[in-house]
Amino acid sequence: MADTIKCPNCAANLVFEPSSGKLECAFCGGSFDPASFESVVEELTAEPVKKTEDTMKFEPDGAEAPQEAEPAKVLEDDDPENLFKDDAEDNMQFTCKSCAGTIVTSLNTSATFCPFCGSPALIGDRLTSGFKPRYIIPFKYSREQAENAFLNWCKGGRWTPIKFVCKENMEKLTGLYVPFWLFDADYDLDVTSECRSDSSVHSGNKTTTTQRFYSVRNFGRLKWRKIPFDGETRIDDKLMEAIEPFDYKGLIPYDYKYLPGFFADKYDQDVNALKDRAIKRVRDYSGVKFKELNKKYDSVKVKEDKSVLTSMTAHYALLPVWFLQYKYLGKNYYFAMNGQTGEVAGVRPVSLIKKIIFFMIILIVLATVTRCGLGMYLSEVAG
């Protein structure tokens, strides 16, 4: 059974409104603070389920992570990769408590809408088992704000098709709580290097360069907290990393009352599936820190590296994202917006018609200028 949160005044469905941060009723105008609102989703207390930890801790095995390039902040127009991978999972059916209609969802959907009456629907048993998050960041940007951000983003694309910016397309904009794993890591840095400092003295036409060599050891514990990795395979990592970072000051203990009015998925990648990527990122971060510590030297040659990742812990959280998918000339394009900070990213389609018209105008202008110049030259010769 899929349930909803009801208004205590009129029993209508409540939805979470990001602009006010409240659960609001569209019928009677009631507004309620989710943190203090007394409501229990029946499915959440129907029967006990086996509890698994929402925080996973493991000792790194020290194996080398696979070499992979860090994703770029800006996604290129000609990126051939499909940013949303097809969901090949089986579907499941639930009954809407508002209209008794049938809701069909994937195995990973925790919050959705009834296709018949439009009521927000919470799949209770997917919110309380081992898939229950530890944290959540509620949406701060409303749908209207997301639409405005999308329009402003479209203006930055000179070749964006006109049909891309239309009401029908913006209706596809979807608010989704994306499952993330937030990794905490402790890294013991211990590197011994041979460093060189160069200094030059100029005297007339003569320059004297002096090189000084030092044996330098950098050591100490580096602590990285809440490094995010999305735990859903159907959403491409590059798109998610492009709208980071999230402001963790807004991270609160998980509360299902922030879900109504949005979609929410549970993870299908656990920490073991993401561990190698997390280890690589921690090592990359540590490499950047090492360079910062030795930036005063002109040359740094590592002689011995005893650095080790000592511990890693991952916390499960739901983070807010606005999505829009668009198909143009048989290819999928995507827009994403951080539902908390407003950071946007995506891939814009390119209109061939706009390009052709632009180049035709350029040719006409060049032809006109050439013709005028030739006419003036002939007039001068004749004169």
Domain assignments of the chain as residue spans, ordered by start: 2-350, 355-383
Please report the pLDDT score of residue 312 as a whole number: 92
Taking only the tens place, the pLDDT of each residue in 339-358 is: 999 999 887 765 555 555 54
**pLDDT band at 250, cuts 50/70/90?**
very high
Q: What is the pTM of this model?
A: 0.70
- The label of the residue with tokens 């941060």 reads 21
The pLDDT > 70 percentage for the chain reads: 61
Mean pLDDT of the region 167-184: 85
- More confident: 158 or 207: 207
Please report the pLDDT score of residue 86 as a whole number: 40
**pLDDT band at 108, cuts 50/70/90?**
low
Distance (Å, rounded) from C-alpha 185 to C-alpha 162? Answer: 47
**pLDDT band at 290, cuts 50/70/90?**
very high
Return the C-alpha torsion angle 98, 101, 102, 106, nearest 10. Answer: -40
Query: Quick one: residue 247, left, alpha or beta (phi over 0 = left, psi -120 to 50 = alpha)?
Result: beta
Please report the pLDDT score of residue 90 as a whole number: 56
DSSP 38: -
Q: Taking a C-beta distance cutoff of 8 angstroms, is the pair 334, 239 a contact?
A: yes
Taking only the tens place, the pLDDT of each residue in 53-106 is: 455 555 554 433 333 333 333 333 333 333 334 444 455 554 555 544 444 455
Cα–Cα–Cα angle for 148, 152, 153, rounded to 5 degrees: 115
Taking only the tens place, the pLDDT of each residue in 312-328 is: 999 999 999 998 887 77
| Average pLDDT of every residue of the chain | 74
Report the half-sphere exposure of 110 (CA within 13 A, side-chain side): 28
Please report the pLDDT score of residue 82 as a whole number: 38
Distance (Å, rounded) from C-alpha 303 to C-alpha 295? Answer: 17
| Residues sharing a CB contact under 8 Å with residue 258, sequence separation 6 or more, in sequence order | 16, 34, 136, 138, 139
Q: Give the C-alpha distances (Å, rounded to integers) separating 92 from 78, 101, 110, 112, 173.
A: 36, 14, 12, 13, 24
Taking only the tens place, the pLDDT of each residue in 270-287 is: 888 999 999 999 999 999
The closest of 232, 38, 1 to 133, measured between CA atoms, is 232
Task: Please check the confidence at residue 222 and state whether its pLDDT lies above 90.
Answer: yes
In this structure, of 78-92, 172-186, 206-220, 314-328, the range with the lowest mean pLDDT score is 78-92
Q: Taking a C-beta distance cutoff of 8 angstroms, is the pair 319, 302 a contact?
A: no
Beta strands in 204-292 (DSSP E): 206-230, 252-253, 263-265
